[in-house]
Structure 1
Amino acid sequence: MFPVHAMGYNWLQSNARSAKVLAERIQHLILTYKGQGFTCEKVILITHSMGGLVARALIHPKMGNLKDQVLGIVHGVMPALGAPAAYRRMRCGFEEGSLRMNPAPKFLGNSGNEVTAVLGNSPGGLQLLPSCAYGNGWLEVRKNGILLDQFPKNGDPYQEIYCLRGKWFGLLREEWLNPANNAYAGLTATIDLLQDARQFHLDIADTFHEQSYGHYGADTLRASWERIVWNLSGSLADSAWADYRITNDSMKGKLTLAGTTARGGKVAGIHVELGPSQGAGDQTVPLRSSDRQLLSGRFKAIFRQTGYEHQNSYSSTAVLHSTLFSIVRIAATMNWKDDA
């Protein structure tokens, strides 16, 4: 029987910073048990969602540097490559769910401006955005269902989407970033945080513990924002659509655009709407991101599962079973000093 400790962290601060804080707490815990006469050399980490990124940072030599004291890690519903849902929330607010009875969006951010004011100034929140490794083409612009273009094109969402200025489909509405007019907040500060997020993603890209186990949703019935699709309506055919400006924003996924056509004419009243969620996953993390764990070849076992939603994953019997299996397998690798 092993003692169990729950350790929270500030998800708004950088995951690298959280890793350093948790490393100190875990080291203190180990010393406490040793001081009480117990054998305590290593810990097993069980994570949920972003906690998986923190755990990977925890064993990184330049962050938590705790690899020697970690026996293994169980990753639950980890957004291994980030999640486009973060983009969606910064432009449209948190999702209300299929029954529209979930009160969480009212508190977490009911509209794009509310979420951007928080996540746009949060190192950890920005680290949830899709990394370069997520790949190209996950942000689409369509007109009456026909694909006009998709981004990123060159594997760099930071420059092509997140830090992009003057384009209505970019991540940041600059006027939403600093509602309090704080001298230390605003576009420049957020771009600096995005560059930090890029570096964090690069630093942990190949950081996995040798005893890693993972479980995550691969449910085709739980659409998970694998792609973000903006749909333009109307009959106007114009190649200058990318340069239109926003004249009205519902902050929940409906825009009105105006601008100058490729031939120099004026156009207004162009309606744009964010399309519905699509792609298998757990309603938040798409399989395209989660499967990085499987494709890495670095995990002892992967459980691709169905039947649960991201936030409540540990309420699933399948998740509990796979977690228990993983813990037992990790514990079996311990070389106890008393073993003869």
Structure 2
Amino acid sequence: MKTGERGVTGMIIGDSAEKLMPVLAQSPGPLQLLPGRAYGPGWLKIEGSTTRLSLPVDDPYKEIYLNKTAWWRLCEQDLLLGDTEKAWSEFETRINEDVIKFIEKLSGKYHPQTWLFYGASVDNPSDAFLTWKERSVLRSPLPARGYHVPSSPTYRYDGDITFELLSSGSPGDGTVPVNAVRMHAARIRGILGTDVDHEGAYAADPVDRARSVYSDLSDALLFTVRPVVKIVQQVPAP
């Protein structure tokens, strides 16, 4: 939201806040992927010469997502589509009605037959937390209040104070960090931590494409087969 996406994804959905934020701010689906209360405190850190914070302290919705004044807020009001005040009001409604209810009602909920695997690899670094770190920079032709520098995720405010957004690079699957995984719940029947990336979790290349013969299936795929068999075995015979 604040810096745009990098790489090929950024070329498609927006490589700057000006391009990305107007779309995401009115899209309930992506907003419902925000960390909820269950994720815990302190995952957004601000480290400046005069400011050191770990947010949220208690409520990410009030402290970050619906924050209207602090520079580290999620949404820039003047980048929303349409009339500014009306657009902000619609954004608030979207967070309160579509996002908070969706995230919090799902928290801790599992189907009675639940098996899960997750990526737990340092080779697939993930954002367990993010840090806005103040950088000392010389004056440059950046706007006085800019949102994104394409070559580096930075945010400038109050003239010459510049913060760079740093990832924690925590173990995970490249998207979801290990510490976001709920390891214990009464309805979880089995769990596996493995070396798998988020998008390629179910990928398998056939050795013989003509006959669709597969070999060397990943631990994630083998783990998935086991609960499918167990679930089928519980189906009553006709």
Range class of TM-score, shorter chain: 0.7 to 0.9
Residue pair 2:4, 2:148 contacting (<8 A) in 1 also: no
Residue pair 1:121, 1:185 contacting (<8 A) in 2 also: no
| TM-aligned CA distance change 1:309 to 1:113, over 3 Å | farther
Q: Does 1:224 align with 2:131?
A: no
Q: Does 1:269 align with 2:160?
A: yes
TM-score, structure 1 length as denominator? 0.59
Q: Which amino acid aligns with 1:193?
A: R
Partner residue, 1:152 = 56
Q: Does 1:323 align with 2:228?
A: no
Q: Does 1:188 align with 2:89?
A: yes
Partner residue, 1:78 = none
Partner residue, 1:250 = 148
For 1:285, which of 160, 163, 176 is the aligned residue? Answer: 176
Q: Which amino acid aligns with 1:122?
A: S
| TM-aligned CA distance change 1:277 to 1:216, over 3 Å | same
Q: Which amino acid aligns with 2:234?
A: T
Kindly report which structure 2 residues correspond to 1:19-34, keeping only aligned pairs within 5 A, or say none.
none
| TM-aligned CA distance change 1:168 to 1:211, over 3 Å | same
- How many residues are paired up? 216
Distance 2:2 2:113 in 1: 38
Distance 1:309 1:320 in 2: 13
Partner residue, 2:3 = 92
Kindly report which structure 2 residues correspond to 1:38-57, keeping only aligned pairs within 5 A, or say none.
none
| TM-aligned CA distance change 1:327 to 1:311, over 3 Å | same
Q: Which amino acid aligns with 2:4?
A: G
Residue pair 1:91, 1:116 contacting (<8 A) in 2 also: yes
Residue pair 2:16, 2:147 contacting (<8 A) in 1 also: no
Q: Deviation above 4 Å: which 4+ runs of structure 1?
A: 182-185
Distance 1:176 1:295 in 2: 41
Q: Does 1:166 align with 2:55?
A: no
For 2:28, which of 123, 131, 143 is the aligned residue? Answer: 123
| TM-aligned CA distance change 1:275 to 1:287, over 3 Å | same
- Identity across matched positions, percent: 26
The offset of 1:104, in angstroms, is 2.8
What runs of 5+ residues in structure 2 fail to find an aligned partner?
138-143, 205-217
Partner residue, 1:309 = 197
Distance 1:302 1:296 in 2: 11
Distance 2:172 2:72 in 1: 24
Instruction: Supply the RMSD in Å over aligned alpha carbons.
Output: 2.4
The offset of 1:251, in angstroms, is 5.6
Q: Which amino acid aligns with 1:311?
A: E
For 1:112, which of 3, 13, 17 is the aligned residue? Answer: 17
